[in-house]
Chains A and B, each alone.
Chain A
Amino acid sequence: MPSSDYDPASLPDLLPLYYRRLFPFSQYYRWLNYGGVQKNYFQNREFSFTLKDDIYVRYQSFTTQNELEKEMQKMNPYKIDIGAIYSHRPNQHNTVKSGTFQALEKELVFDIDMTDYDDVRSCCSAADICSKCWTLMTIAIHILDRALREDFGFQHLLWVYSGRRGVHCWVCDEAARKLSVAARSAIAEYLSLVKGGEETVKKVVLTDPIHPSIRESLSVVERYFSQYALHEQEILGRKESVDKVLALVPEDVRKDLQQSFQNEKKPETRWKLVKDQATRKQATAKKGQHFEKEIMLQYCYPRLDVNVSKGVNHLLKSPFSVHPKTGRISVPMDLKELDTFDPFAVPTISMICEELDRPRTEEESEDTKEKENEKDAAEKRKIRDYKRTSLAKYVKYFDQFLDGMARTWKGELLRKSDLQKEF
């Protein structure tokens, strides 16, 4: 397996090659420049680099794509983080009066980390993931993507695999980039259902009637619940798991269920018993009892790191950054293929560097027309370079995403030039 080939010690040797020949700078710049609609948008953006031995350099900023390229090729960062767009150039933040250097805008971001699910997955814990628990990420993306698009009306959502155990979402709409801290935290809270720390057992409490947005989320969870929770995680299998589930139902129901579980071992049937109890309760109780839904949500609903989303100046790992521990590239995810996305199939840096050394096939050497990007030969060669590796399909998807956004810039730029003519 190529993934096991990666050796963290080889990273210092591979990074120069990656930044020189593979990192998609032109797309990267195209993204963060946002069509040049706003002045100094790229120039005032904070980047921060983690270098060898965990040396952390904040407040980097670059005036052009070329400068960014040169600097990254010089520093060879182990990890790249993207921060906010500031009022001044971040690399000059010490020269402006304190208090005037302020974070103005940033994409609305979400960070979902598998460690936050440790109490509800039995397959792995902490930084480990497997194909079983990855379903949790799939569910999370389906739910959040729908809510952000349909409820909040955002359109340009870039989902990125973090390289190890989670996913990030970058909401790039202009309206999203301009959101206040209060609005960001309100959105994050609207999207959070699982609440409470180690001292809370029951972390999801639904109110009646159930909000339309949660109903939609529930319908997503329902698609996966039986296969994922009942069969793969076996939440109604071993005694400890069963007890954990039963701790979430009302006391009187708990006793009934404990008894009936004694004669019934099949997880599907056990779950049916839980649902039947809930239906019975709902018929008698005045206020809605939704404990079966609450269980489903507690086990499957996305768990957000709210603090990451709240702050405008919060840093988040950049797409196409390398995860130093796994060597995997942080790649954009095509949601059309979300259900088949396999984190273990994401290329590692050692893998794509190796692929570069392979002799070219004929087909590859012919394929040189890359749209209107008629730049110098080096640029062309680089484009061809990544195309020869398994990074290609992720960059291609990134291109599609950028094309979608470019349509809004065009409109905006047209409007602006019209305005200027009037004066």
Chain B
Amino acid sequence: MYRPKVRILSNLSMEVVNNGRGTPCQAEQENKCPLYDKVSLPELVKNVIVYPRLLNNPLCLAGLSWGQLLHHLIGKMQFGSRRKKIDTSPQTELYGHALQFYVQPPLENISLSEFETFAVDRVKLLKTIENLGVSYVKLSEDYKKKLWNESRNLNFPYKLEASVKDEKKSQIGQDEYEKRRKDHISHFILRLAYCQTEDLRRWFIQQEVDLFRYRFDGMLSDQKREFLHRNNLQYNTITVEEKKSLREQLVISSYAVSGVTVESQDFYKVPFQDALDLVRTRKVYLKAGYVYIPHQDIVTIVLNDFRTRLSKALALTARSLPAVHSDERLQPLLNHLSHAYVGQDYSIQKNVGKISLEQIDSLSGKSFPLCMKQLHQSLRENHHLRHGGRMQYGLFLKGIGLSLEQALQFWRSEFTRGKVDADKFDKAYAYSIRHMFGKEGKRTDYTPYSCMKVILSNPPSQGDHHGCPFRHSDPELLKQKLQFYKVSPSGISQILELVKGMHYQLACQKYFELTHNFEDSNFSLNHPNQYFIESQRVLGGGKDIKREMEAPQRSQENSAARGSTAAREAAANASQDLAEMTEDLDSFFQDA
């Protein structure tokens, strides 16, 4: 389909803008609109309505190219010095390789609708990567297959193993070219959307790094070499003598290196900071601050390079954020994109105070997910929880509707039953509970932990009861626990099977189905508070709780409105259509 270009749109008169707000467009009335018969009107209207200030923007009127627009948005610091090079390098050169290091920003003009589609598709892709990373071992066959499919469906490059010869420069087909172009442009759009806060940056970098890893892994070794060469990535290798003297250590430090292959392999010696993933997991030989990496693990260093550069680029982008905020066409979309990733975060509660403290025991039996049940029990038994447990459980309780006062009462009454007296509680613990509710310190209103967070971050250690029981329990203990909760033997074995395959959330959902006599639940579990809501829904017990809970909002929805007032007005004017436009996105993230 023909897509209107920003530059062409900029030829339209101001009336069109007003048309978006209800006044008839003069150009339209007179049938003189230059795009009148070329673009389907709804398409055009949508563009104009969603971005009513589009034509007002001097940038567009000046007919700036996409590259220049990005220069403006991302900030001159980052790309200023490279501009000359970019302007002379042909596009085909830019897309010579399926995998990109995203050094140069795109230069072409792009329509707003393409801008939107590209961005939304990439968010979908990254979201898929995040989900796959939790359900499957990264780079396992299933993981790769699913990601391959998703890349193909969303029209991103997926034929990574395509031979280099076919791709000699201009010879890549139009189809492949489009895919690579989309990959390139969408990455840069999301940089704008995800540079705004530390959390967003971390999420974005993590998913981009995983995507890069997957793609790098899919290439043949020739291609890898060419890729490294093309991007000027060179690393120090060790000498034959050094290799000989370290032979034994090298062999027992790396899984895939044997006494035979150590001779023929290149080993790279880099500071340990450049290969943290290998250090963390003890998968590499480490001596005096240097790691010795066999050639096959070179991906770690490349990834580290990728991560470092991306992180720096995002920090720079963030610095020029005011420029993005002043662009009222893009700001609403970028904000929407950036907070879409979390899905519901169950933070804002309309039902605060609708749950009484007496209800908690019975609710924990019926409607708490296993992780919270476990925390609740150990709190009741020990009259104490360590920090990790207090955070995980405390925020969950806040999410189901405990008010600050109730929370303080709840924790105090339980803690003072143990070794802590009321005085000590007020001094040592009350602060952290008020902190959780955003009443202390930097006053962030913390959101309840998602399954992802529970599973991936801060694993429990000695004395801790937090974490995900499906992820952090010995299978034998988990089995006993499930038996205790009267799960049928066949159910238990199904759950344990899922756990074995590292599908912890699916295991939890299976547990939900089994304990609620409910087959094929039609939701996808990714949040302990979601578990609670769904459980209440099924049990029908807490009807009013449920209704109130229907519309938990994203906390960042508010931050979207933090921009300029003008943007807010614009967004309000366009809210209806914006809602329509973003409906897909919303439903997607709710399903995910």
Contacts and interface: CB of A to CB of B under 8 A. Distances in A.
Interface string B465-492: 1110100111011100000000000000
Given A115-B462, A116-B461, 12 more contacts: A116-B463, A151-B288, A183-B276, A185-B280, A186-B277, A197-B465, A197-B467, A201-B477, A212-B285, A215-B252, A306-B461, A307-B458
Contacts of A119: 462
A277 B272 CA distance: 38
A61 B279 CA distance: 35
Nearest to A201: B474
Interface in B282-316: 282, 285-290
A199 B474 contact: yes
Given A198-B464, A199-B473, A200-B473, A212 B276 contact: no
Given A190-B282, A197-B472, A200-B474, A209 B252 contact: yes
Interface string A111-126: 0000111110000000
A54 B427 CA distance: 8
Given A152-B272, A211-B282, A197 B474 contact: no
A312 to B, nearest CB: 14
Given A211-B253, A212-B253, A214-B282, A197 B288 contact: no
Q: Which of B249, B276, B378 has the most CB of A within 10 A?
A: B276
Contacts of A212: 249, 252-253, 285
Interface stretch (A132-140, A174-182, A264-272, A403-411): A174-182
Contact of A200 (B273, B279, B285, B472): B472
Contact of B462 (A118, A187, A189, A214): A118
Among A153, A194, A198, A212, residue most surrounded by chain B Cβ atoms (within 10 Å): A198
Given A150-B288, A212-B253, A213-B282, A199 B460 contact: yes
Given A199-B472, A199-B473, A152 B282 contact: no
A338 B530 CA distance: 53
Given A180-B273, A186-B280, A199-B473, A151 B286 contact: yes
Nearest to A212: B249
A175 B463 contact: no
15 contacts: A115-B462, A117-B462, A118-B462, A118-B463, A151-B286, A185-B280, A195-B461, A196-B460, A199-B472, A199-B473, A199-B474, A210-B252, A212-B252, A303-B461, A307-B458
Given A198-B460, A212-B253, A175 B477 contact: no
B459 A195 contact: yes
B247 to A, nearest CB: 12
A186 B276 contact: yes
A202 interface: yes
A306 B378 CA distance: 23
Contacts of B476: 201
A379 B458 CA distance: 47
Most buried by A among B251, B282, B459: B282
Nearest to B460: A197
B289 A152 contact: yes
Interface in B355-382: 374, 378
A186 B288 contact: no
Contacts of A189: 280-281
Interface in B119-139: none
Contacts of B459: 195-197
A150 to B, nearest CB: 7
A153 B273 contact: no
A307 B387 CA distance: 11
Contacts, number: 109
Nearest to B246: A212
B253 A198 contact: no
Contact of A197 (B252, B461, B478): B461
A257 B510 CA distance: 38
Contacts of B474: 196, 199-202
Interface centre among B251, B253, B289, B427 (most CB of A within 10 A): B289
Interface of A: 54, 98, 115-119, 150-154, 175, 179-180, 182-183, 185-187, 189-190, 194-202, 209-215, 303, 306-307
B460 A186 contact: no
A199 B460 CA distance: 9
A304 B252 CA distance: 25
A197 B273 contact: no
A115 B252 contact: no
Contacts of B478: 199
A151 B289 CA distance: 6
B273 A183 contact: yes
Contact of A115 (B374, B463, B467, B477): B463
Nearest to B468: A199
3 closest residue pairs by CB, A with B: A197-B460, A153-B289, A153-B288
Nearest to A183: B273
Contacts of B252: 209-212, 215
A185 B279 CA distance: 10
Interface centre among B286, B287, B472 (most CB of A within 10 A): B286
A149 B285 CA distance: 14
A239 B327 CA distance: 73
B252 to A, nearest CB: 4
Contacts of B378: 198
Contacts of B281: 189
Contact of A186 (B279, B285, B464, B469): B279
A153 B277 CA distance: 18
A190 B285 CA distance: 11
A127 to B, nearest CB: 11
A197 B466 CA distance: 8
Contacts of B251: 209
Interface string B436-471: 000000100000000000000011111111110100
Contact of A150 (B273, B287, B458, B466): B287
Contacts of B290: 153
A187 B474 CA distance: 26
B477 A199 contact: yes
Contacts of B249: 212
A389 B290 CA distance: 44
A79 B398 CA distance: 34
B23 to A, nearest CB: 42
A152 B282 CA distance: 13
A54 B476 CA distance: 43
A47 to B, nearest CB: 19
Nearest to A251: B476
B95 to A, nearest CB: 32
Contacts of A211: 252-253, 282
A55 to B, nearest CB: 9
B273 A179 contact: yes
Contacts of A115: 462-463
Nearest to B273: A183
Contacts of B287: 150-151, 153
Interface string B172-195: 000000000000000000000000
A239 B272 CA distance: 46
B318 to A, nearest CB: 10
A176 B273 CA distance: 11
Contact of A199 (B279, B442, B469): B469
Contact of B286 (A152, A179, A215): A152
* Centre residue among A54, A117, A199 by max chain B CB count within 10 A: A199
Contacts of B280: 185-186, 189-190
B214 to A, nearest CB: 21
A150 B286 CA distance: 9
B465 A199 contact: yes
A182 B282 CA distance: 15
A196 B461 contact: yes
A306 B280 CA distance: 12
B467 A175 contact: no
Interface string B55-83: 00000000000000000000000000000
A278 to B, nearest CB: 19
Interface in B333-364: none
Contacts of A150: 287-288
